[in-house]
Homo-oligomer: A and B are copies of this chain.
Amino acid sequence: MCRMNGSVITETNDLVAAEEPLEIRVEGQSVAVVMRTPGEDRELAAGFLVTEGLIREAGEVLDISYRPHCSLASSDKAAPLEKADREKKFSNIAAGISDGNVIEVRLKNPETVDRKKLTRHLFTSSSCGICSKASIEAIRQQFPPLEDDCEIEPQVLQGLPQSLAVAQENFKQTGGLHACALFDLTGKLLVLREDVGRHNALDKVVGWALLQGCLPLRERVLLFSGRTSFEMVQKALAAGVSAVAAISAPSSLAVEFARENGQVLVGFLRGEKMNIYAGASRLRKTYDHKTSSRGRTAG
């Protein structure tokens, strides 16, 4: 890699965010190939199945293991599990696709899973999580309604970006990773995951929560390092999260979806400033005495 500054060029050894495909199989059937940053692959596979609406709790999962790339789908020869825990977020500009890129989820009661959802054969990009719906009607999945209408302190939200920045040293190194972090209502960071794909980072957080046995995620706030799309708000709903905040902007459909489903949606959360696109009534009214004359009716 060369670095150029003005007309001076120097050779250097740069870190870039690792991107590799991960094939996710369920009961021997390939359901997705996601472009992800290696690491926390078991969480990613588990979270993907949650936010795709296939499973809801850890008890439904029998096993999550790496498989040899070229194995028959029905093979029982699982690759060693310790590969699941390796961290390989960065690459010295990679030399090919590594092994450990096929992971299989086995379910306790596979017959209860909607098999139609498993017949997709799709490739999801590093930024893509809910690929494979065959029609416009199908983009909205059915998830149970939220049972979480917790109040949130605006001051807690204002502190989250700083907590994320402190925890997210990797991002500063490469600038190439999206982050998703889960906080409790006091602003305590519970888990942080990073990935070249923002949907993967979110799925890893949800998969972590599934494997910890703490789904649905009540009284929790998800923070994204970038923008918020429709899919990400829908994935948050799948995990039961009622409050989503992001450093950057939401899309129109993200706002619409959050309002329909009783979620809090905050964007442009920077310093003391934020935009509240949905659920403003759930922000605790510590600020009322300073409310401007225009009032607050949105949400």
Contact = CB atoms under 8 A, between A and B. Distances in A.
Interface of A: 1-11, 14, 16-21, 23, 30, 33, 35, 69, 90-91, 93-97, 101-102, 120-136, 138-139, 154, 174-176, 196-199, 227, 229-231, 248-256, 268, 272-277, 280, 283, 286-287, 290-292, 294-299
Which 9 pairs from chain A and chain B are nearest by CB? A127-B127, A128-B128, A176-B249, A19-B251, A123-B133, A91-B252, A125-B128, A7-B287, A121-B134
A251 B251 CA distance: 25
Nearest to A174: B249
Contacts of A20: 252-253
A21 to B, nearest CB: 5
Nearest to A289: B7
A136 B35 contact: no
A4 B273 contact: yes
Given A196-B229, A252-B16, A134 B123 contact: yes
Nearest to A102: B136
A82 to B, nearest CB: 21
Contacts of A9: 276, 280, 287, 290-292, 296
Contacts of A280: 2, 9
A122 B93 contact: no
A14 B134 contact: no
Given A16-B255, A291-B8, A126 B229 contact: yes
A199 B125 contact: yes
A8 B251 contact: no
A131 B131 contact: yes
Given A7-B290, A230-B35, A256-B93, A126 B1 contact: no
A33 B127 contact: no
A2 B298 contact: yes
17 contacts: A2-B298, A2-B299, A4-B274, A9-B291, A11-B298, A16-B249, A16-B252, A18-B251, A30-B135, A35-B139, A96-B256, A97-B136, A125-B125, A125-B131, A125-B199, A125-B231, A126-B230
A1 to B, nearest CB: 5
Nearest to A22: B136
B123 A138 contact: yes
Contact of A94 (B91, B256, B290): B256
A18 B252 contact: yes
Given A122-B133, A123-B138, 16 more contacts: A3-B275, A3-B276, A4-B273, A4-B274, A16-B250, A17-B249, A19-B254, A35-B231, A91-B252, A97-B253, A101-B136, A123-B133, A125-B125, A125-B127, A127-B198, A127-B199
